[in-house]
Structure 1
Amino acid sequence: MTWDPAPLSEVTALFSRVRVPWWIAGGHAIELAVGHAFREHGDVDVLLLRRDQSAVQEALSSWDWWAADPPGTLRPWQRGEILPVGVDDVWCRPSAAAPWRIQVMLDEAQGDEWVSRRNGAVRRAIADLGAVSPGGVPYLAPEVQLFAKARGTRPKDEQDFTAALPVLDDTQRRWLAKALETTYGPHPWLDRL
């Protein structure tokens, strides 16, 4: 399946029309936190809360949307269909003949709190879930993104952790350490936090 990731400027323009919170996620979020690009990306990720999933179809109204049904099967996402818990990713492209451009991830929330899919005990106020770059791009807070990357770390996740570590303040480091300990017990990143 071919990917041609949309540039952040295009993603921002498309999602700026919706009236719900959204954030650039994945490796791009880490680069926004660090302040510069440092590696290649195979896709571009956008995070929305599951309860706001209709905003994807609003922002990308003329696009082709496919839900990633576990364990990894893509199927068309019908207009107005509510994706259930467990269907956490949507691949989007401008048309059926175009390469994939945006991957949308859906996360859980209860009231004003984001709830981790990895561990329901790991929570955070939605208002504190992200930041905004100097260029006006909302992105997932680096400690939250690193927590998402911490399960079965790949070389790119290690690279992201190493790049983000110097920009994490004490509060962010404590949050990440607690989330890692709560979810995984011993984790190789804990010694570096």
Structure 2
Amino acid sequence: MSFEKCYKINKRMKDFNKGWYIAGGWAIDLFLEKQTRNHHDIEIAIARKNQLYLKEYLHNWTFNKVIKGDLSIWENEYLELPIHEIHGKSDKTKDELEVLLNEIELNEWKFRRDESITCKLNSFYSVTNEGIPYLNPEIVLLYKVRNTREKDHQDFKSVKDYLTIHKKAWLREAILIHHPNHEWLEDLI
């Protein structure tokens, strides 16, 4: 199993100095230091306030914003909530990347679906020994609670026993606020 896609993104983003993090299932696998399932795409998270810097950094890419499930060209407008997803494609290499905009101000992340759910930025992400930044698993899993698919259940099962007591408690409290009847709660006691 290989982290080739993650290494490739890390190399492409090495000079983007605004903070970025591998998200989704790849983040779970980076945390576990092994690939647990097939991934069809790769996602990164950035602070919403850095979206135009990213577009400038990847100036030879074409970007689309996602509005209610539909893609439309992203010009140079600043994207506000509820828009939080951008799809990019390199005009040169045809590489693709999904970008998730996160509400990060100063040293705090806020969950876009309920801003009462927060964490300090240093609890939001970690970095692999190879220098790849990724979202911590409890953050990734919180995003998967709303419309949980089979691959999301698989991610949860793969990582739940490796979460610290603190991470489990944070995730449990966040799920109780966001989706109080979710089935994962019984495994987070």
TM-score over 0.5 (shorter chain):
yes
What residue identity is the alignment partner of 1:92?
A: G
**What TM-score does the superposition give when structure 1 sets the normalisation length?**
0.90
Which is further off, 14-23 or 89-98?
Answer: 89-98
Q: Distance in 2 between matches of 1:15 and 1:120?
A: 28
Cα offset for 1:142? 0.5
Superposed CA offset, 1:124-162 (max 9, x none)? 112221000121100000011111111121000000000
2:145 aligned residue: 150
Matched, 1:81 2:77: yes
Q: Distance in 2 between matches of 1:153 and 1:103?
A: 19
1:80-119 mapped onto 2 (5 Å cutoff): 80-95=76-91, 98=94, 101-119=96-114
SS at 1:102 equivalent: strand
1:65 aligned residue: 63
1:141 aligned residue: 136
Cα offset for 1:96? 8.9
SS at 2:64 equivalent: strand
What residue identity is the alignment partner of 2:72?
A: R
1:33-52 mapped onto 2 (5 Å cutoff): 33-52=31-50
Cα offset for 1:95? 1.9
Q: RMSD of the alignment, in Å? A: 1.7
SS at 1:7 equivalent: helix
Indicate how the Cα distance of structure 1 residues 179 and 24 shifts in structure 2: closer, same or farther if over 3 A, else same. same
Percentage of matched positions with identical amino acids = 29
Superposed CA offset, 1:32-74 (max 9, x none)? 01110011111100001101112321331211111112x1121
Q: Distance in 1 between matches of 2:44 and 2:93?
A: 22
CA contact (8 A) 2:44 2:100 kept: yes
1:3 aligned residue: none
Gaps of 5+ in 2: none
CA contact (8 A) 2:60 2:92 kept: no
How many residue pairs match? The answer is: 185
Q: Distance in 2 between matches of 1:171 and 1:54?
A: 35
What residue identity is the alignment partner of 1:15?
A: M
SS at 1:53 equivalent: helix
